[in-house]
């Protein structure tokens, strides 16, 4: 695994995914390689959408936890629209407990500086700026994950 960890990148995960999923409504795609999950959400999600999708992502997390001590989710925010206030309220009310888990590492990738500023302020509003990791590009995000995987020996 250590040799493969060195190759970890956006392209590597897509080309070597052990599993690949596409939502029925095409609002997200995801790829799984070992304990790294790449998610590409699109469009706006209603609170009802979010409940379904996040429950699916959490079920996948629980499945991966049977094999791995930590699971890394990398969310490609570049095609995901800024979400509604209703979505943010739903997330705050129902899912912030997930952000406090030591075994679930959430990384967000957003290329646009203005959207990164907005995401940073959202993370601060839900008091999770130290638990959610925001990167400008995938090279930076996967280099950070590679370092953690190598340090942790996974």
Q: Is the pLDDT of residue 103 over 70?
A: yes
- The pLDDT assigned to 121 comes to 86
pLDDT at site 89: 84
- Domain locations in the chain? 2-152
pLDDT digits (tens, 9 = 90+) for 36-80: 999 999 999 999 999 999 999 999 999 999 999 999 999 999 988
With a pLDDT cut of 90, the percent of the chain lying above it is: 62
Domain spanning 2-152 has what CATH number? 3.30.750.24
Mean pLDDT value of segment 136-151: 93
88-117: average pLDDT: 88
Average pLDDT on 10-15 reads 95
Q: Residue 150's pLDDT band (boundaries 50, 70, 90)?
A: confident
For residues 33-38, average pLDDT: 97
SS (H, E, C) the chain: CHHHHHCCCHHHHHHHCCEEEECCCCCEEEEEECCEEEEEECECCCHHHHHHHHHHHHHHHHHHHCCCCCEEEEEEHHHECCCCHHHHHHHHHHCHHHHCCCCEEEEEECCCHHHHHHHHHHHHHCCCCCCEEEECCHHHHHHHHHHHHHHHCC
Does residue 12 register a pLDDT over 90? yes
pLDDT at 136 over 80: yes
């Amino acid at each position: 695994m250590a040799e493969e960890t060195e190759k970890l990148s956006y392209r590597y995960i897509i080309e070597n995914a052990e599993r690949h999923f596409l939502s029925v409504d095409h609002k997200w795609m995801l790829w799984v390689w070992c304990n790294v999950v790449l998610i590409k959400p699109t469009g706006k999600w209603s609170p009802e959408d979010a409940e379904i999708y996040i429950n699916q992502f959490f079920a996948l997390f629980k499945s991966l936890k049977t094999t791995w001590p930590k699971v890394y989710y990398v969310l490609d925010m570049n095609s995901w629209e800024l979400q509604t206030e209703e979505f943010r309220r739903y997330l705050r009310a129902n899912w912030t407990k997930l952000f406090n888990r030591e075994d679930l590492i959430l990384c967000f990738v957003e290329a646009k500086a203005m959207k990164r500023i907005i995401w940073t302020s959202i993370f601060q509003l839900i008091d999770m700026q130290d638990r959610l990791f925001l990167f400008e590009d995938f090279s930076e995000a996967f280099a950070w994950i590679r370092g953690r995987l190598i340090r942790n020996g996974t």
